[in-house]
């Protein structure tokens, strides 16, 4: 029997709410602990160059105060690579980043940035940190993972197009995610997925056999305003397992 898909809870937007007032609350570390107590398998945070939500201190506290798998999303910049080598998360997920964007707008362009990504991945993997890449469900991008066989353990499929598609087109977008997952697994990579997932649309993604882990944040933080973080995590896990 296959293992249940793991849920990594992203607490970025707990920090977003805190940063609107530059206050001490809500505390993303506290909410991360509640998520773990409710059944989450790990915690994800995106430390952006502009520090718009998660701060360096948050990552340090997550690493020191919680006994959990920590996934650090970040750009492949010298500053972030140095911080990751210092902070030693369990995994680094390399993502594209633009100061003007509201949220991550798409996957990495391995066609144009393969050498840069390879250098970053080799530095991180050399320090014992697992490396994942955030990629669109595009066979042309995913096939380039073969050139990163030594340093990249897995990749996260960007599910944004699937979650935004009108119902008549959703099956087409789901098929792209399924094909990307199968291709990535055939290259020997661990397969993750995330972006825009909710309890209403997560089921077909969680049912893809190759997908091991989902990264979900915005919906969980929003839903926690109604149900509390523990209730939101429980609702999501139930939807994943259905």
Catalytic residues: 46, 73, 195
- Contact by Cβ (8 Å): 88, 73: no
- Contact by Cβ (8 Å): 223, 235: yes
239 Cα distance to chain centroid? 18
Rg of the chain on CA atoms, in Å: 17
Give Cα separations from 222 to 125, 209, 226 (angstroms). 34, 28, 8
Give Cα separations from 90 to 42, 44, 63, 124 (angstroms). 10, 10, 9, 10
Q: Contacts from 170-177 at CB under 8 Å and sequence distance 24+?
A: 174/204, 174/205, 176/137, 177/137, 177/205, 177/208
């Amino acid at each position: 029997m296959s293992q249940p898909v793991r849920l990594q809870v992203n607490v970025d937007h707990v920090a977003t709410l805190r940063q609107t007032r530059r206050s001490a609350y809500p505390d993303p570390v506290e909410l991360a602990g509640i998520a773990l107590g409710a059944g989450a398998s790990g915690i994800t945070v995106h430390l952006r160059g502009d520090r718009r939500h998660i701060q360096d201190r948050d990552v340090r506290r997550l690493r020191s105060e919680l006994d959990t798998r920590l996934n650090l999303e970040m750009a492949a910049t010298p500053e972030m690579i140095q911080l990751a080598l210092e902070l030693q998360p369990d995994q680094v997920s390399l993502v594209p980043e633009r100061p003007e964007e509201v949220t991550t707008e798409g996957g990495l362009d391995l066609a144009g940035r393969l050498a840069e990504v390879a250098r970053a991945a080799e530095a991180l993997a050399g320090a014992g940190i697992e490396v994942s890449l955030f990629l669109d469900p595009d066979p042309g991008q995913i096939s380039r993972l073969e050139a990163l066989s030594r340093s990249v353990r897995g990749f996260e499929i960007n599910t944004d197009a699937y979650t935004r598609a009108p119902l008549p087109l959703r099956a087409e977008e789901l098929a792209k995610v399924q094909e990307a997952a199968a291709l990535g697994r055939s290259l020997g990579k661990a397969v993750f997925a995330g972006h825009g997932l909710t309890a209403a649309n997560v089921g077909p993604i969680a049912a893809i056999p190759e997908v091991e882990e989902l990264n979900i944040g915005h919906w969980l933080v929003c839903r926690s305003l109604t149900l509390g973080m523990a209730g939101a995590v429980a609702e999501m896990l139930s939807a994943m397992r259905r």
